[in-house]
Amino acid sequence: MTEWIQPMEPILASDIMSGPDWIHEIKWDGIRGLSYIENGHLRIYTKRGNERSAFYPEISEITGLVNAKNAILDGEIIIFDNAGNPSFYSSLVRERVRDTKKIRHYSQRYPAKYILFDILHLNGKNLTQLPLFERKKLLQSIVTKSNTITMTDPFSRGEDLYMLMKSKNWEGIVSKQTDSRYIAGKAHKSWFKTKLSRKMLTVIGGIQWKDNMPNSLLLGVYKEASLEFVAKASLGLNQEQLYILKDQAPGLSQEESPFTRESLAGIKGTFTWFTPLLTCWTHFMEYTNDGHLRHPKILGFSSAKPAEADGKEYVE
């Protein structure tokens, strides 16, 4: 394999960059995917360097769409929902598949799109030290688009793109300096992401205690009739709400976890499990790579029925 190139990652920023030296792109809500094309053979790697080539067969057509003998391309693997919106949950469903015998089913139910935004290597030449605008020109010149493989569009006005993302209820934007080199990780000041604040209706499936008082809530959402764990949250609850939970805990408790075993993987501690009857609104920044909510904060209890907690996200 051609040398592994660690992906460049945007840095979270609250302000949107502006000026003629910046371009802005949609921050696609999916799985980072690097394509290594060598003599007509394709290997797909995640951000962490895990090879996933066999698990995204629909992307294999890229070898016939790239006019190059060898190339390394950077992009995002996206699953769109029925409304045409990127679905990170569906992307995680695909990414968690480990049995190649199941790929036909999942690729039909959750078909992947591959959206390219950079090129790192071309016909034996490392391009990471070229400025971004030159890399973009090379990418455009060698790739033919299809229904599955495409390229993200640059925008000159970040504020306008951000407002468009807000109207669509999408994740946010990425702002890049046009002369930026491709630098591994986040050791740079050239790529920034500005994300929309979001909230989600969640089901309370358990409590973790501290000093005989509720300390954290275990929260989930329903996916295909199963309750998937998405967060352990402690921020946001006031004293009155804590006492309400303490008083109601005996009547809600049950022996078994209401969450799927797979979604609880890696969550440690002693918990009181709840019958999933209570709901609350939860603020969060984004999903983590393991499908959990990053920086969850409880906004308050809800009168909504648990079945309504289907993972839909709302922009605040």
Regarding beta strands 70-79 and 226-233, do their DSSP bridges make them parallel or antiparallel, or are they unpaired? Answer: unpaired
Q: Any idea of the CA torsion for 49, 97, 78, 1, to the nearest 10 degrees?
A: 30
| Tally of structural domains, the chain | 3
* Number of separate helices (H) and strands (E) present in the chain: 5, 20
Regarding beta strands 191-195 and 11-12, do their DSSP bridges make them parallel or antiparallel, or are they unpaired? Answer: parallel
pLDDT on residue 2: 67
Provide the 3-class DSSP secondary structure of residue 41: strand
Rounded CA gap, 45 and 57, in Å? 13
Rounded CA gap, 124 and 141, in Å? 17
Rounded CA gap, 74 and 36, in Å? 9
| 307 found inside a domain | yes
**What are the tens digits of pLDDT across the range 87-107?**
888 898 899 899 999 999 999
CA triple 311-52-294, angle to 5 deg? 35
pTM metric for this prediction: 0.82
| 187 found inside a domain | yes
**Domain check: are 129 and 273 in the same one?**
no
Q: Is the pLDDT confidence value at 298 over 90? A: yes
Of residues 179, 126, 137, the one with CA closest to residue 5: 126
Identify the domain containing residue 144 by its residue range. Answer: 29-151
Q: Are 109 and 194 in contact (CB under 8 A)?
A: no
| 1 found inside a domain | no
Beta partners for residue 118, in sequence order: 74
**Domain check: are 261 and 218 in the same one?**
yes
| 2 found inside a domain | no
**Domain check: are 85 and 191 in the same one?**
no
The helix or strand, by DSSP H or E, that contains position 138, with its residue range, turns out to be helix 132-142
Q: Is the pLDDT confidence value at 83 over 80? A: yes
Assign residue 273 the CATH number of its domain: 2.40.50.140
**Domain check: are 158 and 143 in the same one?**
no
**Domain check: are 105 and 166 in the same one?**
no
| 60 found inside a domain | yes
**Domain check: are 272 and 289 in the same one?**
yes
**What are the tens digits of pLDDT across the range 189-224?**
999 999 998 899 999 999 999 888 999 999 999 988
- Copy the structure tokens of residue 185: 């990780």
**Domain check: are 165 and 221 in the same one?**
no
**What are the tens digits of pLDDT across the range 38-56?**
999 999 999 999 999 999 9
Listed residues 151, 167, 186: the one ending a domain: 151
**Domain check: are 112 and 157 in the same one?**
no
